[in-house]
Amino acid sequence: MNRFPLPAVGLHTETTAFYETIEAIERHVAAHSFLPGRLSRWQIGITADPAALLQQQRQEGTLQCWQVWEVPNRVAWSLQNYFRGRNMQAHDAPEASDAAAKYLYLFKPAHSFRGLLRSLYGG
């Protein structure tokens, strides 16, 4: 039987990243929600450029509790699907299909008066 030396520090696999990010998202939602188990008020998405997306959301005035995690692309897609299955809304960024999209972001839409006016009148 062959023996291979293992590193002293545990390997950070995609599975580990998946479960650690689930825990981090659940903690974030619980810390910023009146009803922590209600995920339907939150939106999750994948992007290659979280800074540009954050700027766009701020300009639209529809953003609260923004948080970003950097994970492998496959993990990002798996997490988005996992939380969609738990009734979280998916927010589609234009570049979400890009293989370089390795940032998973989460926010709670703010239904501000300014955001409402922009959505109604395109202004």
Q: Over the stretch 23-41, which tens digit does the pLDDT of each residue have? A: 999 999 998 887 767 788 8
* pTM: predicted TM-score of the whole model, two decimal places: 0.74
Question: Region 87-92: what's the mean pLDDT?
Answer: 81
Contact status, residue 40 vs residue 88, Cβ threshold 8 Å: yes
Quote the CA–CA distance of 55 and 50 in Å, as a whole number. Answer: 9
pLDDT at 39: 84
Question: Region 63-85: what's the mean pLDDT?
Answer: 90
